[in-house]
Structure 1
Amino acid sequence: MEEKESAVKAGLNAGLILGIGSAILMFLVYFINPNFLVAGSFGFGLLILFVVVSVVLGIRYRKSIGGFISFGEAYKFSIIAFLVLILVSFVTGILLYTVIDTGLPSRLADQSIENTLAIMEKFGAADAFNDDQIDEMKESILEGYTFFGLMKTNLISLIIYGILALIVAAIVKKKDKSLEY
C-alpha cells in the first residue's frame, strides 16, 4: 500500500514552489524596471498569484491523497506553504537590498515618495508635505529595507498570510460525504 504524503511535506514543497517563483519574479522585475517593485499593483498582483497557485497546489495535493481533505489539514498545508514563501522572500530581499544592489533601497524610497506625492497631487494636496517631512518619510522607508526592517515586514506578512491560508484551506477542503450517516 502506498503511503500518503503528509500535509507538512506537501506544504513545504508548495512553499518552495511559491518562494522560488517569487524570487524569480522579483529578480525579473528588478532587471526590467526596479521601480515597479514599489508599485502597489505589483504587490497586490503577487498576493493574488500566490493565493491562486496555493489553491491549485492544494487541490493537487488533495487529489493525491484520495480526493478528500479536512479543513485542518488543508490549513496546515497552506500555512506551511506561506511560511516557506515568507522565509524565501526574506532571504531574497536581504540578498537584493544588502548584497546585490545596496543603492536600490534609496532609489525605491525616492520612487515611493514620488508615487505618494503623485497621489496627493490628484487629491489637490500636493503641498501637504514640507522638505523635512519628506526626508523623514524617506528615512522611514529606508529602514524597511534593512535586515530588521525586512524582518518586521515579514512578521506583519505572517498575519496577512495566516488569513489567506484560512481562505485557501476553505477552498481546498473537501469532505467525504460517504462517511456521513
Structure 2
Amino acid sequence: MDKSALISKLALKNGLMLAAVSVVLSLTLHFIDPVLIYTSFVAQIGIFILFIVLLVVVGINIRKEIGGFWTFGEAFKAFLIISLILAFTATLYNVLLMKIIDPDLPAKAAAAIEDAQRAMMEKFGMAKEQIDEAIAKSGNMQEKLEPTFKNIFTSFGVSLALYGVLSLILSAILKKKEPVRLDSFPKEG
C-alpha cells in the first residue's frame, strides 16, 4: 500500500474512533446534566482541550505507523479526513439528540443559557432593565438551537471551519521531515 493510501486508511480508522469517543462523551454528559455543555464554560474548555490532546496523540500515532515522517501536506490530509468525520458525526449526533433522544433539549438549553446569562450580568451589577434588553438583543436562543436545515448547515460549516484551522495548526506542528542521508550523495573522487 502506498503512503498516501495508508494515511487515508489510518485517518479514517482514527477519525471513526474519535467520533465514537465524542458521541459517548456527549451522551454521558447529556445524561449527567442535559444542559451542562451549554452552560458550563469549564466543561466546554475541558472537552476542547481533551480533543486537542486526542488529535495530537492520533497524529503522532499515524506518523509513527507510516514510518515516522510526513510532510505538512500529508499531515493536513490526515487531519482533514479526521475533521470531516468529526464534523459530520457531531452534526448527525446533534440532530438525533434534539429530534429523537431529547426533543425538549432546545427549550431546556435555551432557558438554562438565559438563566446563566442573567446570573452573570447580575454579578457585574447590571440593572434588571439592562439585563432584559441585553437578553432581548441576543435573540431567541431556542430558535438558534432547534435542528432546522439552516442551523444544521451552519453548525456543520462552523465545525468544519474550526477543525480545518485546527488541522492546519496541528499539521504545522506535527510535520517531520525525513533526515537527509549522507550515503545518498554521490561520492567525489
Query: What's the TM-score, normalizing by structure 2?
Result: 0.84
Match of 1:170 in 2: 172
Question: Which has more radius of gyration?
Answer: 2
Q: Are 2:24 and 1:24 equivalent residues in the alignment?
A: yes
| Residue 157 (str. 1) matches residue 159 (str. 2) | yes
2:35 paired residue number: 35
Tell me the number of residue pairs that the alignment of Structure 1 and Structure 2 aligns.
179
Deviation at 1:9?
Answer: 2.0
Shift of 1:26: 0.7
Question: How far off its partner does 1:3 sit?
Answer: 5.3
**Once the 2 structures are TM-superposed, how far is the Cα of residue 155 of structure 1 from its aligned partner?**
0.8
Identity of aligned residues (%): 35
Unaligned runs of 5+ in 2: none
- Matched residues in 2 for 1:96 and 1:33: separation? 14
- Which residue matches 2:98? 97
Unpaired runs of 5+ in structure 1? Answer: none
Question: What SS is found at the alignment partner of 2:35?
Answer: helix
Cα gap change, 1:32 to 1:123, in 2 (>3 Å): same
Distance 1:124 1:60, change over 3 A: same
TM normalised by structure 1 equals 0.88
How far apart in 1 are the matches of 2:22 and 2:49?
Answer: 12
RMSD: 2.2
Native 8 Å contact 1:78 1:165 kept in 2: yes
Hey, which bits of structure 1, 4+ residues long, moved more than 6 A? none
Once the two structures are overlaid, the 10-residue window that deviates more, 33-42 or 91-100, is 33-42
